[in-house]
Amino acid sequence: MEWTGGCMCGAIRYEVSGEPFWVGHCHCESCRHHTGAPVVTFVGFKKDQVAFTKGERQIYNSSPGVGRAFCRQCGTPLTWEGESNLPERGEILEFYISTFDDPNAFMPTNHVWYSEKIAWFDVADDLPRYRGFDFDSDLCRKGPVVTERPG
Ligand SMILES: [Zn+2]
Ligand SMILES: [Zn+2]
C-alpha cells in the first residue's frame, strides 16, 4: 500500500509505503504543545518506508534525539521523528494523521500517555488507554471516562 500527504500549503509532500507499525492517539503534553490540539493521532512508519517528494521540512528538536517536523512556510506540524524505544523499529517517523490526503485510510488502535490527558477531553471509542506507551506501561482503562453534564 502507498499513501501520500503533505502540509496545508503544499510546499511539503510525502509518500509512505507498506503497513504502519502503529496508528493511535497520543495525549502527551509535548504533542499537544507541538500541534495546539487537545490530542493528536499518529501513523508510525520505519524510516525506509518514508520518502519526502517535495520541499524540505523544518525540524525542531523538542528533546535530544527527538525531531518534530513542520512546514516553515505554512506552519503545519508534520511528524515526530527519531529512534524508537523498540530497537527492532530503528529510526521512525510518526505522521500526524490529518496531514494524510486520506486520513480515513487508517484506523487508530489505542491511546497512549492517557495519564497526561486533558481532564475535559475524551472520545467515545472502546480502545485501550495506556498510562504511557502501549508497549511498556499499564492499561488505565478501556473506553472513555463518562462524565455527566449538568442539566
Ligand atoms: Zn506548507
Ligand atoms: Zn505524544
Walk along the chain (151 residues) and give the pLDDT tens digit of each residue. 899 999 999 999 999 999 999 999 999 999 999 999 999 999 999 999 999 999 999 999 998 999 999 999 999 999 999 999 999 999 999 999 999 999 999 999 999 999 999 999 999 999 999 999 998 899 998 988 876 666 7
Ligand with an atom nearest the CA of residue 34: 2
By C-alpha distance, which of 77, 73, 41, 45 is closest to 62? 77
Residue 48 backbone dihedrals phi, psi, to 5 degrees? -75, 0
Ligand 2 center to residue 42 CA distance, Å? Answer: 9
Ligand 2 center to residue 121 CA distance, Å? Answer: 15
Q: How far is CA 91 from CA 44, 78, 83, in A?
A: 11, 16, 4
Ligand 2 center to residue 143 CA distance, Å? Answer: 19
| Helix (H/G/I), strand (E/B), else coil: 91 | strand
CB 73 within 8 A of CB 11: yes
By C-alpha distance, which of 29, 1, 2 is closest to 15? 2
Q: How far apart are CA 125 and CA 58, in angstroms?
A: 34
Ligand 2 center to residue 10 CA distance, Å? Answer: 25
Ligand 1 center to residue 87 CA distance, Å? Answer: 32
| pTM (predicted TM-score) | 0.93
Ligand 2 center to residue 49 CA distance, Å? Answer: 21
